[in-house]
C-alpha cells in the first residue's frame, strides 16, 4: 500500500536536491529538448502519488478485503515502482555522464547518451498514461466506497439509537465476542479449552480483589491471537458477581465512537441501577452529558468495567472521567499496543506470551481428542504428526485451537492426518479467524512502518536482530529520514520502538542503558510478513533450499540468508535488473558477480559472514550504494573505485582483514558510520586483541560521520578530529603518551560524544587524562585499555562528568588504589555496567552498603591478586548479572552474594581449585535457586 508510494516520494525529493544531476540535465537539454520539462513532470508525479496515498489512507482497513480495491492498490504500487525506476535510472545515467567528464568537455558525440535519455522520456510518457488510468479507476471505486459507507452510517445510527435508549432489551453481555471476524477468538475457544492460563488468571483475580480504595486500571497486552480477550472473559465471568452494583463489558475495537461507547456503558449500568436512579437522555447526547449521567449512576457504587480491544490511548482517556474516583472500582483493558498497556501502573500490567511447547501440545490434545477420553490423550501413532502441527502453530492459541478443531473432525489415523497436515498450514493461513487477526495488525501500521516491518523478513530467521543494524539499514533504504528535531537514526529508533509497542516485534535483550539491544519477529508474524512481502516484490532463498522468487526482473529486495549453492539451483545466472537490496548473511552464492554487473541501482549490499575474500572494482559503478556490510568476511582490501560511491552512508568492515583504507574513501562525504577494527587475538588474552585501521588523510571531510570505529592514533588524526563535531561514537587505539594531550583536546571539543573507547599502544604505555575535559554531557560509555598516569580518577572526566557515565570497562590498568571498587563507586555512582579486567588490586574487594545503586552488570576478570569478595547488605540492589572469571586466587564464595535477590545470572568460572569445594560445603546451589543462569 502506502509504503511503495512513500518510498517513491522520497526518491522524488532527493533527485530534486541533487545539484550534479541538475547540472547534467541543463547541459544535456540542449540536445534532448524534452529534458527541460522533466523536473516539472517528476514533481507532478509526486503530487499524484500523494493524492493516491491520501485516498488509501481514507480507505483505512475497513475496505481492504474488497478485491477491486486490492487490485487498484496493486496498480498504484506498480506505478510507484515505475516512478522510482525512472528516477533511479535518470540519476544513474546523469552521474555516469559526470564521471565520464561530460560536464567539463560537453562531449555528446556518442549516440548512446541521446538514446538513453530518450528512453527515459518515453518511460515518463508511459507513466503519465498509467496515472490517468489509475485516476479513472479511483473515481469508480470511490463511488462504490461512498455507497458502502452510507450503508454503514445508517447501521451505526440505528445502533446508536438503540444503545442510548434506556429500555433496551439486549442481553448485558451480548457484546462480548461480537466483533469483526478478525476478533472472533472467544467464539473459537471455550473456558474448558484454555490451557496454561491459571497463573495469569490468578494474577488478574488477585488484582481485582485487592483492598485498594481508588479506581485501579489493569491492562492485558500481547500480539493478536494470544487469547487476551478469552483470558479476561473467564476472569470477568467469575468475578462480576463480586461487583453487583455495576459491571459492563465494552468492545472498543480499532474504529470507535466515544459517544457510542459511553452510551453503551450507560445503558448497561442502568439495567443494574436501583429504582431511585433516574437518568434519561435524548438520542443526541454528547460526551459531557453521557459522562455526567454515568457519574450520577455510579455514584457511591463499586463497578467492574472491561474495555476490550483498545487500539488507542485516547479511547480510554476520553472515557475515563466517567468512572474514575469510584471507591474500589476496577477497569480492565485488553490491547495489542504497548503504549496503551502503559496506561496502567507497572504492577498492574500483564503481557501475554505465546504458549510453551508443553502447554501448546496439551491445548491441542484437549481440542483434537476431546471425544476420546476424559484425559484427551494423543494416540501413540499420531504423536509425530500432532507434534508437527503444534510446532507449526508457534505457540499461538488461536492457531492451535483451529488446527485441533479441523483434525478432531477427521478420521484419526496416521495416513489421514498426514494428508491433512500437508495442507493444513496453508489452510490455516487462509482462515478468516487466523489470517484476518494478523492482517489487521499489519493494516493498522502507518505507511512509514510497513516497509520497516517487512524488511525484517530479509534477515536470518531465528536469529536476534541487532537494533543498530536495523536502524542503519532502514536509513540506507530511505524508510526513515531526519526531521527538524531528530536525526535519521533517532527517527529509525522511534520506528523500532513503535513496532515493539505494537507487538509486531519482540524484545530479546536490552543493553546496560535499558535500550533494546536485539529483537525478533515471532514465527507466525513472520509468516504473515512473508506473504505480504511477496506482493511487495521481495524475494528470498533460505537454508532449506527453498527459493521464494517472483519474476527476477521485478524483484527489488532479495535475501539469501543461509543459502548454499549446493542446496539447489542457485540464482547465480539470474539477472536482477531492478534489485535495490541484497542481504546475504552467512551465505555462499554465485550470484554476486551478476549483482555487481547487472544491479546498477543497488542501494544496500549486506554480506556479513559470507565466505568472500575480495570486492571487485566494479563496485564503483553502483552509484546508489548507501550501505556496504562486509563484517566477518575474509576481505583484505577495498578497491580504489570505492571513491566513486558518493552516496555511501555506512561502511562496515568490522572483523575483516583490512588494515588500511583507500585514500579516496574520503570522497564519500555522506558517510555516517565507519566500522573498521579487526581481531588480532580472538581469545582476547593479549593486550591488543582488537586492532584498528590506519585512518586516511583528510578524514575530516567526513563531516556527517557519527561513528568512527576504530582508527590508529596519530598527530594527524588528532588534528583532523578537531573539525569533526558530529561524532558520537569514537574508538581509537595505538595511543602513546606523547599524543595523549592533542588527542584528548580534540575529543573534548565534540559536543555529541556519547561512547568512547581508548586503547594504549601497548600494556606498558601510560595514558594521561588531564587534558580530557569533554564539553559533551551525553558521554555514557567509556572503555579504557592501558595504564594510567597517577591520579587518573582526579581528572575532569571522572570528577566532573563521572556522574553521567553508565558503562565503564577498564582493562590492564593500575588505579593505584588498594581496592578500586569503593573509589569508583564514589566517582561513577550512576553506573549500570562495570567491568574490570587485569586491574591491579589488593586481596579483598569490598562492595559496601549503598554502593552502585543502579548497577545491573558486574564483570571481574583476570585479577590475580583477588582472593575474596565481600558484598555488604544494600550494595548493588538492582544487579542482574555477575560474571567472575579467571580469578585464580579466589578460593571462597563471595560473602553476601546469596542476599542479592535481583540476581538472575551468575558465572563463577576458572577460579581457585578450592572454590568449588567451598561452594558445595556452603550449600550454595540451594541458596541460589532464584538464579536462572548459574554456572560454577
pLDDT in tens, 530-582: 877 777 667 665 544 455 555 666 788 888 876 655 544 445 566 778 888 99
Say if CB 709 and CB 760 are below 8 A apart.
no
- Cβ 720 vs Cβ 737: under 8 Å: no
Instruction: Find the range with the poorest average confidence among 15-24, 149-158, 524-533, 626-635.
Output: 149-158
Q: Is the dihedral of CA 359, 364, 367, 373 positive or negative?
A: negative
* Burial class of residue 874, CB neighbours in 10 A (0-12, 13-18, 19+): middle
Instruction: Give me the pLDDT at residue 670, please.
Output: 92
Query: Across 387-391, 409-413, 892-896, which has the greatest mean pLDDT?
Result: 892-896
Q: Minimal CA–CA distance to 468: which of 449, 487, 496, 448?
A: 496
pLDDT for 100 = 60
In tens, the pLDDT along 424-452 reads: 655 555 544 456 556 767 777 787 888 89
Q: What is the rounded CA–CA span in Å between residue 637 and residue 614? A: 7
pLDDT at 373 over 80: no
Identify the three-state secondary structure at position 46.
Answer: helix
d(CA 38, CA 57): 29
Residue 521 half-sphere exposure toward CB, CA atoms < 13 A: 23
pLDDT tens digits, 240-291: 888 887 899 998 877 788 888 898 888 888 776 655 445 556 556 788 888 8
pLDDT, position 857: 95
737 falls in which pLDDT band (50, 70, 90)? confident
65 or 314, higher pLDDT = 314
* 203-240 residue pLDDT tens: 999 998 888 878 889 999 988 778 888 889 889 988 88
Average pLDDT of the residues in 588-599: 76
Distance of CA 499 to the CA centre of its chain: 6
* Nearest partner of 648 among 660, 632, 633, 662, judged by Cα: 662
Alpha-carbon distance of 247 to 241, in angstroms, equals 8
Q: CA nearest 453: which of 538, 375, 514?
A: 538
The answer on pLDDT for 412 being more than 90 is no
Q: Is 219 helix (H, G, I), strand (E, B) or coil?
A: strand
Cis before 839 (ω within 30): no
**Contact (Cβ atoms closer than 8 angstroms) between residue 612 and residue 634:** yes
Distance CA 107, CA 110 (A): 8
pLDDT (tens digit per residue) in 146-165: 555 555 455 444 444 443 33
Mean pLDDT of the chain, nearest integer: 79
790-805 per-position pLDDT tens digit:
566 777 788 777 888 9
> pLDDT above 90 covers what percent of the chain?
26
pLDDT at position 432 is 46
**CA-wise closest residue to 730 among 714, 745, 710:** 710
Closest C-alpha to 185, from 384, 34, 334, 378:
334
Question: Rounded to an integer, what distance in angstroms lies between the CA atom of residue 557 and that of residue 644?
Answer: 23
Q: Which of 91-95, 163-167, 668-672 has the lowest mean pLDDT?
A: 163-167
Rounded CA separation 260/159 (Å):
9
- The pLDDT, as a whole number, for residue 588 is 63
Grid cell in block for residue 778: 551525553
∠ CA(122), CA(126), CA(127), 5° rounding? 115
Q: Given the C-alpha cell 557515565, which residue does it identify?
A: 805
Q: Is 752 helix (H, G, I), strand (E, B) or coil?
A: coil
Q: Do 469 and 631 form a contact (C-beta atoms < 8 A)?
A: no
State how far the Cα of 288 lies from the Cα of 396, in Å rounded to an integer.
Answer: 41
Q: Please answer whether residues 860 and 883 qualify as being in contact, where contact means their C-beta atoms are separated by less than 8 angstroms.
A: yes
User: What is the pLDDT at residue 179?
Assistant: 37
CA separation for the pair 591, 573 (Å, rounded): 7
How many angstroms separate the CA atoms of 216 and 323, rounded?
11
Using CA atoms, how far apart are residues 482 and 803, in angstroms rounded to an integer?
31
The pairing of strands 465-466 and 516-520 is antiparallel
| CA 774 remoteness from chain centre | 32
| pLDDT of amino acid 212 | 81
Amino acid at each position: 500500500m502506502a509504503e511503495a508510494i512513500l518510498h517513491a516520494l522520497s526518491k522524488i525529493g532527493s533527485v530534486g536536491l541533487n545539484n550534479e544531476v541538475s547540472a547534467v540535465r541543463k547541459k544535456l537539454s540542449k540536445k534532448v529538448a524534452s529534458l527541460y520539462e522533466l523536473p516539472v513532470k517528476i514533481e507532478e508525479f509526486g503530487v499524484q502519488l500523494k493524492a493516491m496515498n491520501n485516498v488509501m489512507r481514507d480507505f483505512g482497513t475497513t475496505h481492504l478485503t474488497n478485491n477491486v480495491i486490492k487490485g487498484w492498490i496493486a496498480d498504484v504500487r506498480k506505478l510507484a515502482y515505475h516512478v522510482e525506476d525512472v528516477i533511479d535510472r535518470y540519476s544513474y545515467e546523469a552521474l555516469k555522464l559526470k564521471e565520464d567528464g561530460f560536464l567539463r568537455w560537453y562531449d555528446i558525440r556518442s549516440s548512446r547518451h541521446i538514446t538513453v535519455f530518450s528512453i527515459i522520456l518515453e518511460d515518463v510518457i508511459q507513466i503519465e498514461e498509467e496515472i490517468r488510468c489509475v485516476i479513472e479507476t479511483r473515481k469508480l471505486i470511490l463511488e462504490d466506497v461512498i455507497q458502502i459507507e452510507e450503508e454503514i452510517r445508517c447501521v451505526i445510527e440505528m445502533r446508536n439509537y438503540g444503545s442510548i435508549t434506556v429500555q433496551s432489551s439486549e442481553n448485558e453481555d451480548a457484546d462480548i465476542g461480537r466483533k469483526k471476524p478478525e476478533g472472533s477468538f472467544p467464539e473459537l475457544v471455550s473456558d474448558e479449552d484454555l490451557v496454561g492460563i491459571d497463573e495469569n488468571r490468578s494474577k488478574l483475580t488477585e488484582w481485582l480483589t485487592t483492598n485498594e480504595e481508588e479506581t485501579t486500571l489493569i491492562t492485558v497486552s500481547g500480539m493478536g491471537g494470544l487469547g487476551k480477550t478469552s483470558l479476561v472473559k473467564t476472569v470477568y465471568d467469575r468475578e462480576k458477581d463480586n461487583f453487583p452494583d455495576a459491571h459492563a463489558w465494552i468492545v472498543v475495537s480499532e474504529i470507535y465512537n466515544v459517544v457510542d461507547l459511553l452510551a453503551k456503558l450507560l445503558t448497561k449500568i442502568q439495567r443494574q441501577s436501583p429504582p431511585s436512579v433516574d437518568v434519561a437522555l435524548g438520542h443526541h447526547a454528547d460526551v459531557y452529558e453521557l459522562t455526567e449521567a454515568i457519574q450520577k449512576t455510579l455514584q457511591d457504587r463499586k463497578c467492574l468495567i472491561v474495555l476490550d480491544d483498545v487500539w488507542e490511548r485516547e479511547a480510554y482517556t476520553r472515557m475515563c472521567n466517567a468512572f474514575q474516583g469510584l471507591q474500589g472500582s476496577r477497569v480492565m483493558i485488553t490491547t495489542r499496543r504497548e503504549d496503551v498497556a502503559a496506561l496502567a501502573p507497572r504492577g498492574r500490567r500483564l503481557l501475554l506470551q505465546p504458549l510453551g511447547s508443553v502447554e501448546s501440545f496439551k491445548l491441542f490434545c484437549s481440542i483434537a481428542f476431546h471425544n476420546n477420553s476424559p484425559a484427551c490423550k494423543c494416540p501413540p501413532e499420531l504423536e509425530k504428526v500432532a507434534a508437527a502441527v503444534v510446532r507449526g502453530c508457534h505457540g499461538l492459541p488461536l492457531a492451535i485451537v483451529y488446527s485441533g478443531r479441523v483434525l478432531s473432525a477427521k478420521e484419526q489415523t496416521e495416513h489421514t492426518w498426514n494428508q491433512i497436515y500437508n495442507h493444513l498450514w496453508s489452510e490455516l493461513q487462509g482462515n478468516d479467524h487466523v489470517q484476518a487477526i494478523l492482517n489487521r495488525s499489519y493494516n493498522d501500521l502507518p505507511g512509514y512502518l510497513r516497509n520497516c516491518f517487512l524488511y525484517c523478513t530479509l534477515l536470518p530467521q531465528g536469529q536476534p536482530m541487532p537494533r543498530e543494524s536495523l536502524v542503519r539499514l532502514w536509513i540506507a533504504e530511505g524508510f526513515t529520514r531526519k526531521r527538524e528535531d531528530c536525526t535519521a537514526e533517532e527517527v529509525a529508533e522511534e520506528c523500532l520502538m513503535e513496532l515493539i509497542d505494537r507487538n509486531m516485534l519482540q524484545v530479546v535483550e536490552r543493553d546496560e542503558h535499558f535500550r533494546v539491544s536485539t529483537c525478533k519477529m515471532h514465527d507466525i508474524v513472520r509468516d504473515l510478513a512473508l506473504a505480504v512481502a511477496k506482493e511487495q516484490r521481495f524475494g528470498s532463498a533460505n537454508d532449506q533450499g527453498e527459493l521464494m522468487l517472483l519474476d527476477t526482473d521485478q524483484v527489488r529486495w532479495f535475501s539469501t540468508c543461509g543459502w548454499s549453492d549446493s542446496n539447489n539451483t542457485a540464482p547465480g545466472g539470474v539477472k536482477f535488473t531492478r534489485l535495490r537490496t541484497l542481504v546475504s548473511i552467512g551465505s555462499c552464492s554465485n550470484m554476486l558477480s551478476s549483482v555487481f554487473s547487472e544491479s546498477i541501482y543497488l542501494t544496500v549490499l549486506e554480506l556479513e559472514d559470507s565466505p568472500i575474500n575480495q570486492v571487485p572494482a566494479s563496485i564503483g559503478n553502483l552509484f546508489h550504494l548507501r550501505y556496504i556490510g562486509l563484517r566477518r568476511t575474509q576481505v583484505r582490501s577495498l578497491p580504489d573505485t570505492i571513491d566513486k560511491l558518493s552516496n555511501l552512508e555506512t561502511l562496515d568492515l568490522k572483523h575483516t582483514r583490512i588494515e588500511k583504507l583507500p585514500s579516496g574513501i574520503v570522497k564519500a562525504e555522506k558517510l555516517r558510520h565507519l566500522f573498521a577494527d579487526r581481531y588480532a587475538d580472538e581469545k582476547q588474552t593479549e593486550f591488543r586483541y582488537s586492532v584498528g585501521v590506519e585512518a586516511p588523510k583528510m578524514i575530516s571531510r567526513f563531516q556527517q560521520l557519527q561513528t568512527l570505529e576504530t582508527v590508529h592514533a596519530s598527530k594527524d588524526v588528532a588534528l583532523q578530529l578537531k573539525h569533526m563535531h558530529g561524532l558520537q561514537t569514537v574508538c581509537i587505539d595505538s595511543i602513546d603518551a606523547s599524543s595523549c594531550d592533542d588527542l584528548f583536546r580534540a575529543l573534548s571539543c565534540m559536543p555529541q560524544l556519547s561512547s568512547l573507547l581508548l586503547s594504549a599502544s601497548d600494556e606498558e604505555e601510560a595514558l594521561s587524562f588531564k587534558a580530557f575535559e569533554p564539553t559533551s554531557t551525553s558521554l555514557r560509555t567509556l572503555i579504557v585499555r592501558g595504564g594510567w598516569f597517577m591520579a587518573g580518577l582526579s581528572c575532569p572526566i571522572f570528577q566532573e562528568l563521572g556522574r553521567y557515565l553508565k558503562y565503564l570497562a577498564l582493562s590492564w590498568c593500575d588505579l593505584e588504589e588498594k581496592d578500586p571498587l569503593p573509589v569508583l563507586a564514589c566517582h561513577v555512582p550512576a553506573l549500570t555496567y562495570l567491568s574490570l579486567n587485569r586491574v591491579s588490586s589488593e586481596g579483598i574487594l569490598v562492595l559496601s552498603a549503598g554502593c552502585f545503586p543502579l548497577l545491573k552488570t558486574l564483570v571481574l576478570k583476570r585479577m590475580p591478586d583477588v582472593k575474596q569478595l565481600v558484598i555488604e547488605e544494600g550494595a548493588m540492589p538492582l544487579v542482574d548479572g555477575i560474571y567472575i572469571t579467571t580469578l585464580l586466587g579466589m578460593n571462597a564464595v563471595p560473602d553476601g552474594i546469596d542476599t542479592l535477590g535481583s540476581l538472575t545470572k551468575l558465572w563463577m568460572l576458572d577460579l581457585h581449585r578450592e572454590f568449588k569445594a567451598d561452594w558445595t560445603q556452603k550449600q550454595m546451589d540451594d541458596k541460589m535457586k532464584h538464579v536462572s543462569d548459574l554456572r560454577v
